[in-house]
Structure 1
Amino acid sequence: MKPREAAAELGLSYPTIKQWILTGKLATVKTPGGHHLIPRSSLTPLLKAVPEKKESRERFQKVSGRNQLVGKIVELKIEGLLAKVVLSIGEQRITSIITADAVREMQLRKGQTAAALMKATEVMITRV
């Protein structure tokens, strides 16, 4: 199989597979044109070493950050690789742009309770 196909099967990036080929970590067969082909048998030991792609986000639920605001999701819009999430917190709204994958992994839905976690070294105040 081609290196890109092997990368997809292992859930790794193409540059990682290419580096493994060049360092000899992954055995290949060269075509007359100088291209690398990877026998399926070379992937077998690696398939066992690669963790399942589906990760649990449970480990992210307990964090040390104290700047957390809890509210309801009032708007959720996925467009391409990014998603817009709007939380209603009291009479205020906070908007976050995160990856669409994160929205899917957390199974976020409009109406759910969620927390906005802020990490900053400065907080500015303005008189209203």
Structure 2
Amino acid sequence: MPKLYTPREAAQVLGVSYASLKQWIYNGKLKSVQTAGGHHRIPEAEIDRMLPRAAVKGKPEKTRRMYRRVSGRNQLTGRITEIKVNGLLAQITLSVSGQHITSIITADAVRELRLKTGQLAVALIKSTEVMIVLPD
């Protein structure tokens, strides 16, 4: 079953106001499902579809200027969609153009960076290997 967000949660992830998100639902810009009680719930796929529009627009060089200068070129800009803290570690999920990237960092780093769901962030990928897999 796909994950469903409340309008407040979806607004936070997309970085828009609750009122704007409700207008998107009423105007048909954002699809929602209704509970038996008539409450709107937004499927994760709809949030993913809207994330590229809500993210900073422009060339990668322009969006990178918002962050510290780093020699790594594998930088992917997206929004934090989920933060799970468990003990000393935290799992951060970043949505980049509808794709999810998950990073495991320390819980201290989450607190120091003051990470929040819906916040714009960059995944900096540093790896010596990248594997390519073809579908069957």
Q: 1:126 aligns with which of 117, 130, 133?
A: 133
Q: 2:79 aligns with which of 68, 72, 91?
A: 72
In 1, Cα distance between equivalents of 2:82 and 2:104: 12
In 1, Cα distance between equivalents of 2:117 and 2:111: 13
Aligned counterpart, 2:95: 88
Bigger-Rg structure (1/2):
1
Q: Alignment partner of 2:132: what SS?
A: coil
Aligned residues between the structures: 69
Cα offset for 1:91? 1.5
Aligned counterpart, 2:109: 102
For CA contacts below 8 A with separation 6 or more, give which structure has more relative contact order.
2
In 2, Cα distance between equivalents of 1:125 and 1:85: 24
Counterpart mapping for 1:1-128 below 5 A: 61-128=68-135
Q: Which runs of 5+ in 2 are unaligned?
A: 1-66
In 2, Cα distance between equivalents of 1:71 and 1:108: 13
In 1, Cα distance between equivalents of 2:75 and 2:92: 15
Cα offset for 1:123? 1.3
**Following superposition, which runs of at least 4 residues in structure 1 exceed 3 angstroms of deviation?**
none
In 2, Cα distance between equivalents of 1:82 and 1:74: 17
Cα offset for 1:74? 0.3
